[in-house]
């Protein structure tokens, strides 16, 4: 293997890996919020602050509560696609009374705290 090939492997492979897998890993992280969303009074926009809740699911929540206000977070089980796992993830951010206080917070990038300066590579011989 010549020096030029080594250079390509050492420098281009990590870049290619980051490009290919960076988007996949980044998409797995849930929305980071603090506070709660009152599912009985929140707007569609406020409901979308909840992890795993997009516009369509938020509109379903609004539609469901028009018939009867939610008594607890467990009432969301009647929504199509609302699994027990998803509901458990939402539970800390759901309220059925009081104000909506939720707001987005900046989530740290994965591995950002663990990053250390990288030493330059020794020249290939």
Q: What is the pLDDT of residues 98-115, one digit of tens each?
A: 999 999 887 656 655 555
Q: What angle do CA 68, 90, 97 make, to 5 degrees?
A: 45
Q: What is the pLDDT of residues 64-79, one digit of tens each?
A: 999 999 999 999 999 9
**Domain assignments of the chain as residue spans, ordered by start:** 40-102
For the whole model, what pTM was predicted?
0.61
* Range 40-102: architecture per CATH: Orthogonal Bundle (1.10)
Cα–Cα distance measured from residue 53 to residue 31, given in angstroms and rounded to the nearest whole number: 9
């Amino acid at each position: 293997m010549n020096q030029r090939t080594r250079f390509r492997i050492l420098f281009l492979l990590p870049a290619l890996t980051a490009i290919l897998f960076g988007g996949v890993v980044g998409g797995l992280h849930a929305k980071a919020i603090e506070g709660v969303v009152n599912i009985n009074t929140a707007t569609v926009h406020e409901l979308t602050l909840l992890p795993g809740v997009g516009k369509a699911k938020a509109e379903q929540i609004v539609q469901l509560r028009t018939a009867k206000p939610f008594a607890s977070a467990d009432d969301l089980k009647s929504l199509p696609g609302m699994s027990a796992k998803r509901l458990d993830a939402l539970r800390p951010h759901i309220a059925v009374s009081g104000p909506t206080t939720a707001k987005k917070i900046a989530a740290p990038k994965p591995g950002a705290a663990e990053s250390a300066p990288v030493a330059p590579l020794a020249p290939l011989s």
